[in-house]
Structure 1
Amino acid sequence: MRIVALRERAAGETRVALTPETAKKFIALGAKVAVEAGAGARAAIPDAAYEEAGASVGTAEAVLKGADIVLGVQAPDVDLLGGAKPGAWVAATFDPFQQRDRVEAYAAAGLEALSMEFMPRITRAQSMDVLSSQANLAGYKAVIAAADQYGRAFPMMMTAAGTVQAARCFVMGVGVAGLQAIATARRLGAQVSATDVRPETAEQIKSLGGKPVFAEGLEASGDGGYAAELSDEQKAAQAELVSGHIAKQDIVITTALIPGRAAPRLVSDDQIATMKPGSVIFDLAVAQGGNVEGSKPDEVVERHGVSIMGFSNTPATLGPDASALFARNLYNFLSAFWDEDAGRPVLDEEIGDAVRLTHGGKVVNERLLR
């Protein structure tokens, strides 16, 4: 069993799907491990560290020759995978709904695409969930970046010259990223409030020291713990609630995403206009269309004296930590199904069918065939 990882080709991607830690663990299972030279450089991992762990390092062509499993952060183009074995697995993020052509190309090439975004949100798969591990870091980074842009203190400070009031931070969307944003803002000393369309998140907000802000009767809980899309009436109720609250905030963090759809619009230009000059909005969904009107990836946009910002790839701004967590997710996934007799992982139906996009030259995932 030959498991390999390539250098990420996507612009701005600093992460790597295999670390020396997980390479050593795969080798302990009996696999041969290889990594493309320079694959870990942007995550502060030198080639020598992989070699010390027992992995071989070489060119992409040499590494891919005879590969059974290819690990990636963002799925590589099919053209790069010519040396892999027929039917080789590629475990990575595929963005299947938006990148359907890539999925079709994998099927045509006879490769088995395993989409880590489609990992089911069940208890035994928590340690395999790359969306959660990366969102956790993204929620932290959003607050840190917003605090830097804000240019004022977060905590209340009592000095001989007078009192500095604590910043007010409003988190919109209380998934993994939102919860970490609440926790981070609280650690920095801000007064934190948060909202979501799933009323069951109120207790989570309180447990982190935040104040829940909910529209009465609003509920839109979807499958797998995600939020569902709101009706027009629900959107109006949520917009009214936000309009009354957002004008008092110094920092707003938006995190709302709906799988397979563009990010929902949470903050309008009219609402931005009610905020105090110098306030900051960080749009974590900017790469998926944005929760905030006027937000642009990797730019700070000034509207009505408010700074609106967001990164196209927030986890990549924390490359070493994001790589370590992503690589562990992949190891946990493959090792959980490792068959000692077969000398390779053998996926079960529940998780295997959930993440498998292509098999036998066809697209087979039910979510893509609906």
Structure 2
Amino acid sequence: AKRLGAVIEASDVRPAVKEQIESLGAKFLDVPFLTDEEREIAQGVGGYARPMPPDWMKRQAELVHQRAVQADIVITTALIPGRKAPVLLQEATVAQMKPGSVVVDLAAAQGGNCPLTVADEVVERHGVVLVGHTNLASMIAADASALYARNVLDFLKLLIDKDGKLVINTDDDIIAACLMTRREELALAS
């Protein structure tokens, strides 16, 4: 998204994630740790965050609110294994977001990071679209398959004429780039 001009900001309780976020060109939204307890809890276990103390959660909520009301798209992903997803985006925040903004709540299956999220539905609240698909990854396969099929069809249209005969037009840039041999000789010029 950054390559397309988007301004990307991300937050995570685990300090180790900061480097990963910044390595992708995003800005890390830091919620400082005020106690050793907060710092220790934030280390997480097995790659997952642990529940943070209420004080830290309040500071995080304030930061999330400040950034979300300015955003066009907010993607939430916070999960704690075996528990309901923590609420990161309050209804009051959604109500103050720009009309037409989108919230993609990837924690919808565990109750959502926003109380307005409805599992397996796309709803609009306060002029903001909330996407609550619980298995978003499974939806990609159909789109990827359709895109691939369309690309293959378009390629075949370059190779097959109206009468269904194979026509290899070496003047076409796409055909020329794909042609490896022609009449038992290498087709690619070095």
Smaller-chain TM-score range? Answer: 0.5 to 0.7
Give the alignment partner of residue 20 of structure 2, picking from 189, 198, 204.
204
SS at match of 1:271: helix
Structure 2 CA distance for aligned equivalents of residues 270 and 321 of structure 1:
34
SS at match of 1:225: coil
Structure 2 CA distance for aligned equivalents of residues 296 and 187 of structure 1:
31
Which amino acid is the alignment partner of residue 17 of structure 2?
T
Q: Which has the larger radius of gyration?
A: 2
Q: Which has the higher contact order (CA 8 A, sep 6+)?
A: 1
Q: Where in structure 1 do 4 or more consecutive aligned residues deviate above 4 Å?
A: none
- Please name the residue that 1:260 is paired with: 82
Structure in which a larger fraction of residues adopt strand:
1
Is the Cα contact below 8 Å between 2:119 and 2:133 reproduced in 1? yes
Aligned sequence identity (%): 51
- Please name the residue that 1:31 is paired with: none
Is the Cα contact below 8 Å between 2:111 and 2:119 reproduced in 1? no
Deviations 1:281-307 (A, max 9, x none): 000010111011110122221111111
Structure 1 CA distance for aligned equivalents of residues 22 and 50 of structure 2:
22
2:58 pairs with 1:236: yes
| Structure 1: runs of 5 or more not aligned | 1-184, 323-370
Q: TM-score of the superposition, structure 2-length normalised?
A: 0.67
- Please name the residue that 2:2 is paired with: 186
- Please name the residue that 2:102 is paired with: 280
Structure 1 CA distance for aligned equivalents of residues 108 and 80 of structure 2:
13
Structure 1 CA distance for aligned equivalents of residues 29 and 90 of structure 2:
18
SS at match of 1:191: coil
Q: TM-score of the superposition, structure 1-length normalised?
A: 0.36
SS at match of 1:301: strand
- Please name the residue that 2:71 is paired with: 249
Structure 1 CA distance for aligned equivalents of residues 104 and 23 of structure 2:
23
Which amino acid is the alignment partner of residue 256 of structure 1?
A
Q: Structure 1 residue 186: deviation in Å?
A: 2.1
SS at match of 2:8: strand
| Structure 2: runs of 5 or more not aligned | 145-190
Q: Structure 1 residue 312: deviation in Å?
A: 1.7
Aligned in 2, Cα 1:242/1:224: closer, same or farther, shift over 3 Å?
same
Q: Structure 1 residue 269: deviation in Å?
A: 0.1
- Please name the residue that 1:309 is paired with: 131
Structure 2 CA distance for aligned equivalents of residues 321 and 248 of structure 1:
30
Deviations 1:159-203 (A, max 9, x none): xxxxxxxxxxxxxxxxxxxxxxxxxx2244311010011122111
Give the alignment partner of residue 115 of structure 2, picking from 289, 293, 302.
293
Q: Structure 1 residue 232: deviation in Å?
A: 1.2
Which amino acid is the alignment partner of residue 60 of structure 2?
Q
Structure 2 CA distance for aligned equivalents of residues 319 and 297 of structure 1:
20
Q: Tell me how large the CA RMSD over aligned residues is.
A: 1.9
Structure 2 CA distance for aligned equivalents of residues 190 and 252 of structure 1:
12
Structure 2 CA distance for aligned equivalents of residues 303 and 269 of structure 1:
9
